[in-house]
């Protein structure tokens, strides 16, 4: 598998680049800049067959947006 096909979706910051979105990135996909919430991030990851990586501080800010029992493809680091 290539690095692109394995690259996770990484959530970066809430309300960046503008209110209501989460800045995000994915290696090898330069136009992947943000998601419209956690559900959008999850759908994007599932459609690509990759993980969602969330920094601990962002996860703590948004805990209620995530499923109560995190699926294995959501990684909090």
Q: How far apart are CA 12 and CA 24, in angstroms?
A: 5
- Does the pTM surpass 0.85? The reply is yes
Is residue 9 a part of any domain in this protein? yes
Q: For residue range 45-60, what is the model confidence (pLDDT) as tens digits?
A: 999 999 999 999 999 9
In a domain, 12, yes or no: yes
Residues 12-35: tens digit of each pLDDT: 999 998 999 999 999 999 999 999
Domain-embedded: residue 39: yes
3-13 average pLDDT score: 89
Residue 77 lies in a domain: no
Domain range for 38 is 3-65
CA of 9: how far to CAs of 28, 73, 74, 77, in Å? Answer: 11, 10, 10, 13
Q: How far apart are CA 61 and CA 5, in angstroms?
A: 29
Q: Is residue 73 part of a domain?
A: no
Number of domains into which the chain is organized: 1
């Amino acid at each position: 598998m290539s690095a692109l096909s394995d690259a996770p979706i990484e959530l970066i910051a809430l309300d960046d680049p503008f209110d209501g979105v989460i800045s995000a990135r994915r290696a090898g996909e330069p136009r992947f800049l943000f998601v419209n919430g956690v559900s959008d991030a999850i759908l994007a990851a599932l459609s690509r067959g990759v993980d969602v990586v969330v920094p601990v501080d962002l996860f703590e800010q948004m805990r209620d947006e995530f499923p109560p029992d995190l699926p294995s493809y959501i990684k909090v680091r």
